[in-house]
């Protein structure tokens, strides 16, 4: 399906510098603005590879038939749909996000798809930093490209730990903040010279420029493992994928 060409007014004026995407409201607004083209641009810009990375994240979560699982920062629902197929009609998937627009896309995709299991998905508007769920509630949790975007990563990790059942796993997929200079160089070159120019066609260059700064401000794999252990997880392992461009943290409570 061709991505909708947005007729956004060109707000980008070189003399007008937008403030960086810093506040929670800024981030919420950013993901709501990109919601209409988010899925199509991910497919285009990763040459469809992101679907493989998401399948790996769901597999690492250990979700199985009949489980009750959470997709945190679910966005348009890619991982929630994969979890739905894993847990089946007797299982339950909760997709949580703070962007109404992203959840609206997820909900419409749910009704456009005919798989019976997708009826097991519930979409919840909420904050990853203050989850509306009881302690030890979920059998598995996924978080795809969310941790890098939350304002307080330590608080998010604590909430993930709190609502996960003992012995269960959290699988957290995101860009990798590489310690290899050439990997960082390639990652940033791709963002500057491919990702942002393509996003410019939709008037979203500033939104996609945010990717670079958000990766620079993210945690390395080793730091993510430490964050998980400090939150109380019994073990944590960060796997680099796609040549170190992406990474997936697997933490067991």
Ligand X SMILES: C/C(=C\Cc1cc(O)c2ccccc2c1O)CCC[C@H](C)CCC[C@H](C)CCCC(C)C
Buried b (16+ CB within 10 A) or exposed e, 36-74: bbbbebbeebbeeebeebbebbbebbbbeeebbbbbbbb
The interface mask with ligand SAM, positions 121-160, x = CB under 6 A, is ------xxx--------------xxx--xx----------
Question: Which lies closer to ligand SAM via its Cβ, residue 69 or residue 73?
Answer: 73
Look at the block and give the residue holding tokens 């009949």. 66
From the list ligand X, ligand SAM, none, pick the one residue 46 interacts with, judged by a Cβ distance below 5 to 8 Å according to partner type: ligand X
Cβ at position 90, least distance to ligand X in Å = 29
Q: Rule CB under 6 A: which of 42-101 touch ligand X?
A: 42, 45-47, 49-50
Q: Is residue 95 part of the contact set for ligand SAM (CB under 6 A)?
A: no
Contact status: 118 vs ligand X (CB under 6 A): no
- Contact yes or no for 146/157 (Cβ under 8 A): no
Written as six digits, the tokens of 92 are: 């339950």
- Site residues for ligand X, 157-216, by CB under 6 A, read 187, 190-191, 195, 207-208, 210-211, 214
* Residue 32 or 89 with smaller CB distance to ligand X: 32
Interface pick for ligand SAM out of 61, 84, 102, 178 (rule CB under 6 A): 102
CB of 78 to ligand X, least distance (A): 8
Nearer Cβ to ligand X, position 39 or 67? 39
């Amino acid at each position: 399906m061709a991505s909708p060409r947005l007729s956004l007014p060109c707000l980008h004026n070189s003399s007008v510098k937008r403030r960086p995407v810093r506040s929670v409201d800024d981030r919420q607004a950013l993901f709501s603005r990109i919601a209409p083209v988010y899925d199509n641009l991910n497919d285009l810009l990763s040459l469809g590879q992101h679907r493989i990375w998401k399948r790996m994240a769901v597999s690492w979560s250990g979700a199985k038939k009949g489980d009750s699982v959470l997709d945190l920062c679910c966005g348009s629902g890619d991982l929630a749909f994969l979890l739905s197929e894993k847990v089946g009609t007797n299982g339950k998937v909760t997709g949580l996000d703070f962007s109404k627009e992203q959840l609206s896309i997820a909900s419409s995709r749910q009704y456009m798809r005919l798989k019976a299991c997708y009826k097991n998905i519930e979409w919840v508007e909420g904050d990853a930093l203050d989850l509306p769920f009881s302690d030890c509630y979920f059998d598995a949790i996924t978080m795809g490209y969310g941790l890098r975007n939350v304002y307080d990563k330590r608080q998010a990790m604590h909430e993930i730990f709190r609502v996960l059942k003992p012995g269960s796993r959290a699988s957290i997929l995101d860009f990798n903040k590489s310690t290899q200079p050439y990997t960082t160089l390639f990652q940033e070159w791709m963002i500057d010279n491919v990702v942002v120019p393509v996003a410019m066609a939709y008037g979203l260059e500033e939104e996609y420029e945010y990717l670079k700064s958000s990766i620079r401000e993210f945690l390395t794999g080793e730091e993510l493992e430490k964050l998980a252990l400090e939150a109380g997880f019994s073990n944590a392992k960060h796997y680099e994928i796609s040549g170190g461009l992406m990474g997936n943290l697997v933490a067991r409570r």
